[in-house]
Structure 1
Amino acid sequence: MSFFDEFIVRPILNLLMAIYSLIPDFGISIIVFTILVRLLLWPLIKKQLHQAKAMRKMQPELAKIKKQYAKNPQMRNLAMMELYKKHNISAFGSIGVLIIQLPILIAMYRVVQIFVSSRADLGKYVYDFVKNLPVANNLVNNPDQFNQNFLGVIDLTQHAVSKDGVIIGLLILAGVAAYLQYLTSKQLSPQSDSKRKLRDILAEAGGGKEADQSEVNAIMTRKMMKFMPLMMFMVTIYLPAALALYLATASAVGYLQNHIILKQDSLEMEAVANKKTASQKSIASAKTKKRAKQATEARITRIKAKG
């Protein structure tokens, strides 16, 4: 057994098997497994989201630095590093979740392969303590008794498109996964008021006008936001439907997590703003009282002086 199988595939397979032992429905087991993984990644997801928001917020400052040091790459890099440090941002901090999720996705593909075509080999992957679970033990000894359906309707070992034809239900599932991925990407994409297209900017650059790199990046992000879900759809229709269900669940949970974190940030920012306002009012009130006291004392002094 390879290193990847031993330390990534086996733990995932056994967690999925343990869930399946409690809920003997492959589809529901995948959904519960995906939710657990996303919850375990919550701190990293929150950090990634904060990094992404901070990166978007400082785009104007980055644009100024690039323009200011256009002819001095060394000074530009130093200024950018100082800006990252100022905002407490790691240049690679926003890709942490992607780095972790990629091996999980690959391992999930391998796990699904084992359940689909190598079920007889389950015994060498399942841990001994998991085999003590009645359902898992029965499945290891009787691989044909595996419930590969989701809610008794959708066979998750089938492909949406295969040599046998097209399965509409699985095609819809792949479409849902792609659409949810689009919504999640859109949720985190930079907001831009510019509606210009890339060819317009390139045409201006050909005429001698320097292109705004931040605007080019925003356009490319919008294009990728549409292209990646489409590519995911084209790939998942040729893979077992279990992977489409995993991707759909991961995107749905991710969208909800992002919404909660963004809402928490807004409430925190509002609380800070209210605290600052209250503090400013308190300071202003204290200053007003101090000035009134000084004015009263001055009037009393003038009255005494006249007397």
Structure 2
Amino acid sequence: MFGWFDYIKTGMTDLMNLLYGFTVQIGVPSYALAIIILTVIIKMALYPLSKKQMRSMVMMQKLAPEIKQIQDKYKGKDPQKMQQMIMELYKENNVNPMAGCLPLLIQMPILIALYRALYAFPFKNPAHAHFLWVESLSKTGDIPLAILAAATTYLQSRLTTNTQDQTQRTMLYMMPLFIGWIAYTVPAGLALYWVVFNIVGTIQQWFINKETLQLKEGVTGVEGSRKGR
């Protein structure tokens, strides 16, 4: 297990130094820019999976009223039938409620690798390891970055949250606070990664929301579709 962690740490360190070398070649030597480039590359690579995730989240939000009707009709009477009807609703509208799991699982090794690498990063030039007000990307406890991490998490979540659902509405406010606290305790470089990741994700989500807007009229109710057959 520890050998695996050391492997991904070494790989991330080498990748960071490679991207830093690129920033030197273009005349803007900066480890912060290297992290930003790394984030954009990862986000673009994950886009096919993220698109499925984001589309499913949007469609689940649009299906929320229909799901609530099914829950109100069968809850406490026939829970098995309730689950069956909800899954049929997802299937008929091409929604996978588990679509968000794979991008998250892929993200975890990346976050762990970056976390471990930044804590004792062998900067080739420490003078290039700062970012605006941040003295070093390896230091923890940066309040502005923690606030930005929380704010961008809220912004992205707001695009897909069903505010009519009490649980989702609570998570909309609680999750950004939790992420902000995490960002405060990890190296500033990892917090920067999360902020950029959220910004790119928010832009992608906005375009996906536009693409799926026309699907609102096409949302199919299970019982309604059966009556029309």
**Which residue of structure 2 lines up, in the alignment, with residue 156 of structure 1?**
137
**1:69 matched to 2:16:** no
- Decide which moves more: 30-39 or 218-227: 218-227
Deviations 1:212-260 (A, max 9, x none): xxxxxx1221221111111222222232211111111111111111112
- Decide which moves more: 28-37 or 229-238: 229-238
**Which residue of structure 1 lines up, in the alignment, with residue 225 of structure 2?**
none
Structure 1, unaligned stretches of length 5 or more? 120-138, 161-169, 193-217, 274-307
**Which residue of structure 2 lines up, in the alignment, with residue 257 of structure 1?**
204
Amino acid at match of 1:261: I
Aligned partner of residue 210 in structure 2, secondary structure = helix
8 Å CA contact retained: 1:173, 1:244: yes
Q: Give identity over the alignment, percent.
A: 32
Amino acid at match of 1:53: V
**Which residue of structure 2 lines up, in the alignment, with residue 16 of structure 1?**
16
| Offset, 1:67 | 2.5
8 Å CA contact retained: 1:34, 1:250: yes
Q: TM-score scaled by structure 1?
A: 0.61
| Offset, 1:151 | 5.6
Amino acid at match of 1:244: A
Q: TM-score scaled by structure 2?
A: 0.80
Structure 2, unaligned stretches of length 5 or more? 24-28, 219-229
**Which residue of structure 2 lines up, in the alignment, with residue 111 of structure 1?**
117
8 Å CA contact retained: 1:159, 1:239: yes
Cα pair distance change 1:175/1:152, threshold 3 Å? closer
Equivalent-residue separation in structure 2 for 1:259 and 1:58 (angstroms): 19
| Offset, 1:86 | 1.3
Aligned partner of residue 190 in structure 1, secondary structure = coil
Deviations 1:92-120 (A, max 9, x none): 113332222222212210121240xxx3x
Equivalent-residue separation in structure 2 for 1:235 and 1:152 (angstroms): 19
Aligned partner of 1:26 among 25, 28, 31: 31
**How large is the Cα RMSD of the aligned pairs?**
2.5
Deviations 1:137-191 (A, max 9, x none): xx7xxx576732226963212222xxxxxxxxx3212211211111111122125
Cα pair distance change 1:95/1:31, threshold 3 Å? same
Equivalent-residue separation in structure 2 for 1:38 and 1:72 (angstroms): 42
**Which residue of structure 2 lines up, in the alignment, with residue 43 of structure 1?**
48
Equivalent-residue separation in structure 1 for 2:132 and 2:119 (angstroms): 20
Cα pair distance change 1:178/1:85, threshold 3 Å? same
Amino acid at match of 2:58: K
8 Å CA contact retained: 1:27, 1:151: no
Aligned partner of residue 159 in structure 2, secondary structure = helix
Structure number with greater Rg is 1
